[in-house]
Amino acid sequence: MNCPYCDSPRGYVRIQQVKRLRIYAWDGTFLEDQDEKVFYEGKALRCYNCDEKVTSFVKGLKQPL
Ligand SMILES: [Zn+2]
């Protein structure tokens, strides 16, 4: 299996991006009894060699085992 853009067989990297909410009181103190809340999680797959987005390409490869 090779990259559809650069024909590299080296595979892809997964970039995970998470945004968290931290809650503060009005005086600026962090309310530590509150858990940080994840409100956004993005995942992108990019070719290890040419850095092109291959997310949909990889999804198309997935087949039932
Ligand atoms: Zn590539």
Q: Which of 9-13, 18-22, 55-59, 60-64 has the lowest mean pLDDT?
A: 60-64
Is 4 inside a domain boundary? no
Number of domains in the chain: 1
pLDDT tens digits, residue range 8-54? 999 999 888 888 888 888 999 988 776 677 777 788 899 999 999 99
pTM attached to this predicted model: 0.60
Tell me the residue range of the domain where 49 lies: 12-59
Q: Could you tell me the distance, in angstroms and rounded to a whole number, from the CA of residue 17 to the centre of ligand 1?
A: 21
Is 46 inside a domain boundary? yes
User: Who surrounds ion ligand 1 at CB < 5 A?
Assistant: 3, 5-6, 8, 47, 49-50
Surface-to-core class of residue 12, CB atoms within 10 Å of its CB (0-12 exposed, 13-18 middle, 19+ buried): buried
Is 6 inside a domain boundary? no
Task: Say how many C-beta atoms besides its own lie within 10 A of residue 58's C-beta.
Answer: 16
* pLDDT computed for residue 42 by the predictor: 80
Pick the more confident residue, 5 or 16. 5
pLDDT at 65 over 60: no
Is 7 inside a domain boundary? no
Surface-to-core class of residue 47, CB atoms within 10 Å of its CB (0-12 exposed, 13-18 middle, 19+ buried): buried
